Amino acid sequence: MSVTLESRVGTPWKKQPFIKNSTLRWGLLIIAVVYFTVALGSMDVNWSRVYLGLERGRRFVVAFLNPDFTSRATDIKEGMIESVIMAVTSTVVGIALSIPIALGAARNISPLPIYLVCRFIISISRALNEIIVAILFVAIFGFGPLAGFLTLSFATIGFLAKLLAEEIEDMNKVQAEAVKATGASWLQWINFGVQPQIMPRLIGLSIYRLDINFRESAVLGLVGAGGIGATLNTAFDRYEFDTVAAILLMIIVVVMALEYLSGIIRARVQ
């Protein structure tokens, strides 16, 4: 501290600015203000249309208070079952595909060429939005849950393999080395040296991904890839807000249940 105590006594304390360099601070502030005025200006809102929509908004809120589960019960039931099936199968297949890719994408256990290939697969899967992949898969494989299942499996790779590879890279080397020293084969080495260390994380991530896959399967129906989304879209198009509310509430309940379940399982595993 170059400032002595004497010189500071009597002067009031001032809060330190978040960004120390004052030109940078003011520059960023001015850029932000200019950007927001331009961006908000480019957003032409048709307020009379919004005002008209308020009535529909009110109807929607009312519908949320008394959702209609019965009049489209069979459609909702089938859509929900299809969504759950898609979520479960795609998570299983996604995990099965992710594990080898994660092993390949961990720099400490795989050679460089394999590492690069696996990282490339992961980044492709992460960069493409689920909906866009679903559109392409629907165009290629036709309408139905198969396209949704493939989309979600593909999306699971980017998520699970990336996080799992990071976990493998962070693992304790000593344990793996000890197993190797016993003369274990490569498979035994992975099975007894690496796998026990990443298992808790793998289980936690898998349950979390199941949750995400279910949520995503709810929108894939919008582009024809099966699941509850198709029912939801139809209900929206017919302005049956009470059915919409029922479907949305069911999605929320299932997601909450999955989150609760994953909390219990993760607490038990770790």
Partner 1 sequence: MPVKDKNGVKVWQVRDRNAQLIRWAMWMAAGIIFYVSWMKISDQTTWFFVFDAPRIAADIGGRAMPPKWSYITQLGKPIWDTLNIATLGTVFALMMAVPIAFLAARNTTPSKLFIRPIALLIIVSTRSINSLIWALLLVSIIGPGIFAGMVAISIRSIGFCAKLLYEAIEEIDENQVEAITATGATRWQIMVYGIVPQILPAFAGIAVFRWDINIRESTVLGLVGAGGIGLQLQASLNTLAWPQVSLILTVILVAVVIGEFVSAKVRGAII
Note the residues at the interface with partner 1 (CB under 8 A): 15, 18, 35-36, 39-40, 42-46, 49-50, 52-54, 56-57, 60, 81-82, 85-86, 88-89, 92, 127-129, 131-132, 135, 139-142, 144-146, 149, 215-216, 218-219, 222-223, 226, 229, 232-233, 236, 239, 244, 248, 251-252, 255-256, 259
233 neighbors 224 (Cβ within 8 angstroms): no
Q: How far is the CB of 118 from partner 1 (least distance, A)?
A: 18
- Residue 110 or 206: the one with the smaller Cβ distance to partner 1 is 206
- Residue 86 or 105: the one with the smaller Cβ distance to partner 1 is 86
Q: How far is the CB of 89 from partner 1 (least distance, A)?
A: 5
Q: How far is the CB of 8 from partner 1 (least distance, A)?
A: 17
Neighbouring C-alpha atoms within 13 Å toward the C-beta of 106? 22
- Residue 144 or 200: the one with the smaller Cβ distance to partner 1 is 144
**Amino acid of residue 263:** G
- Residue 114 or 126: the one with the smaller Cβ distance to partner 1 is 126
Q: How far is the CB of 85 from partner 1 (least distance, A)?
A: 4
- Residue 117 or 146: the one with the smaller Cβ distance to partner 1 is 146
Q: How far is the CB of 111 from partner 1 (least distance, A)?
A: 26
Q: What is the rounded distance in angstroms from the CA atom of residue 89 to the CA atom of residue 152?
A: 9
201 neighbors 142 (Cβ within 8 angstroms): no
Q: How far is the CB of 112 from partner 1 (least distance, A)?
A: 22
Q: How far is the CB of 251 from partner 1 (least distance, A)?
A: 6
Q: What is the rounded distance in angstroms from the CA atom of residue 213 to the CA atom of residue 88?
A: 8
- Residue 110 or 213: the one with the smaller Cβ distance to partner 1 is 213
Exposure string (b/e) for 191-224, b if CB count within 10 Å is 16 or more? Answer: ebbbeebbeebbbbbbbbbbbbbbebbbbbbbbb
Nearest to 217 by CA among 130, 158, 159: 130
How many whole angstroms from its chain centre is CA 16?
A: 37
- Residue 110 or 137: the one with the smaller Cβ distance to partner 1 is 137
